[in-house]
Amino acid sequence: MTLRQRLAVFIAVTTLVALVIQGGLGYFSLQHQVYASLDRDLNIYVQRLTGLLRKKGLSTDPRFYQDINAGYEGYITRVRLVHEGQVIWQYGQFPDDIPMPNLTQYARNYGQWRVGTWTIHPSEGEEVDFFIQGAILSRELNSSLSNYQQTMLLTTLLVTLLGVIFALLLSRPALKPLQHLLDTTRKIASSGDLSLKVPQEGGGELGELSATFNHMLDRLAGFRKRETEFTRNASHELRTPLTAMKLHLGNWKAGYATPEETLEIICEEVDRMARLSESLLTLAREGRTQKTEFDLAELVQEITGARDLPYSGPEHCQVCGDPLLLRQALLNLLTNAQHHAPAASVGVSLHTTTEHNQTFGVLRVADTGPGMGEEALSRATETFYRAPGTRAPGSGLGLSVVAQVAELHGGKVVLSQNTPHGLVVELWVQSQG
């Protein structure tokens, strides 16, 4: 059963239950009012006769009551006076299914008759009790109640049927976004194409579901892209140090290199592989950081102090981020400056600025080396990019990692020329998470 059909069934059942409850309560209320009115008239009728009987006096002789007028205008009535199980006097013929009275009984139905029994207690000087039983024909009232019940049932079925029809008609456009979502998931499952999108139609929860699903597809596509790039980059970049180690081990076995030389080269290549693996893993991240409140200025002063580099900026600068990633980004910037401008001076500074109503901590690393050309500046953060003519060792991942760290912290990397020469790299980090 489809969701549309389930919705129609749910609306039908809900409508049916509501109408049955409402109709049932209405029917019982009407029935109570009708019988209350009928019982009131029956009581008035019997009390009038009781008053006549008391005025005339009670007797066990039937002839004593022949001149009593027991009719009741507007009703077909029956009445009888009973003493010790014997009918003393009777007006009209009682149906056989109405039992003889032997005690006071509230009004109730017997077939088409509403019947009640009252006790006439003896007056002073009399010694016996009499029962007077009255009946009013309620056939028309019962017929009206039956017609009301049938009308209620037919109305309930008709409204329920209309509810099902309207539910089927209205649920189609309402559930159209959900159908688009189902169609898209089927296509993705069969083709694996994460570039497919769900048409965002309608509003409310279904529209939000479509937008959320498309966002999830974008993230999955990003995961797949990073996985592919990581596999490709790792297989490409790790092959170089492995080849170098294999070559030097071959030279050692052939007697062309000493064990000390070979061990030194292998240690360098292992360190290079470790740095390369760490950089690749950082690039493979997608917002998965352990952010916490910490003092960025304290971290920068610790690193610059260990490298004996000048620092200018505040003593404290609270930011929300991952201190391990920001440490790695700063180390990458300092390593790049050391490799590409070994004889140049390097300065590190920190300040805060506001952009688009958001406060950023700006970490600035400036050197007085040769700097970069305009094309190199525009492409420096690309993965594995190395400026033409670069002879310094490296993998081309340093600034890519810095840019990735900045993005994970809601910031950016800005590269510019230093004056009179050199390179300035600014790492922007949001001051609040």
- pLDDT per position in the chain (433 positions), as tens? 677 777 778 888 888 888 888 888 988 998 889 889 998 998 998 888 888 888 877 777 878 877 787 888 888 889 998 888 888 888 888 888 888 887 767 788 888 899 998 888 766 655 557 888 899 998 888 888 889 889 888 988 898 888 888 877 877 776 777 777 788 888 888 888 878 888 776 667 777 888 888 888 888 887 777 677 667 666 655 666 788 788 888 888 888 888 888 888 888 888 877 766 776 666 566 556 678 888 999 999 999 998 899 999 999 988 888 887 888 888 888 888 887 778 788 999 999 998 888 889 999 999 988 888 888 788 877 766 676 656 555 566 678 778 888 888 888 999 998 888 889 999 999 886 4
| DSSP per-residue letters across 247-299 | HHHHHHHHTSS-HHHHHHHHHHHHHHHHHHHHHHHHHT-SS----EEEEHHHH
Q: Do domains 3-147 and 292-385+395-430 have the same CATH topology?
A: no
Which CATH number applies to 205-284? 1.10.287.130
DSSP 58-110: --S-GGGGTT-----TTS-EEEEEEETTEEEEEESPPPTTSPPP-S-EEEEEE
pTM of the model: 0.46
Q: Which CATH class is domain 3-147?
A: alpha beta
Which alpha helices (H) appear in 290-397, and where do they start and end? 296-307, 323-340, 374-379
Residues 6+ apart with CB under 8 A from 53: 65, 68, 81, 120, 130, 132
Give the residue extent of every domain in the chain: 3-147, 205-284, 292-385+395-430
Are 399 and 386 in contact by the 8 Å Cβ rule? The answer is no
User: For the chain, how big is the Rg over CA atoms in Å?
Assistant: 50
Superfamily of domain 292-385+395-430 in the CATH hierarchy: Histidine kinase-like ATPase, C-terminal domain (3.30.565.10)
Instruction: Give the end-to-end CA distance of the chain in Å, rounded to a whole number.
Output: 47
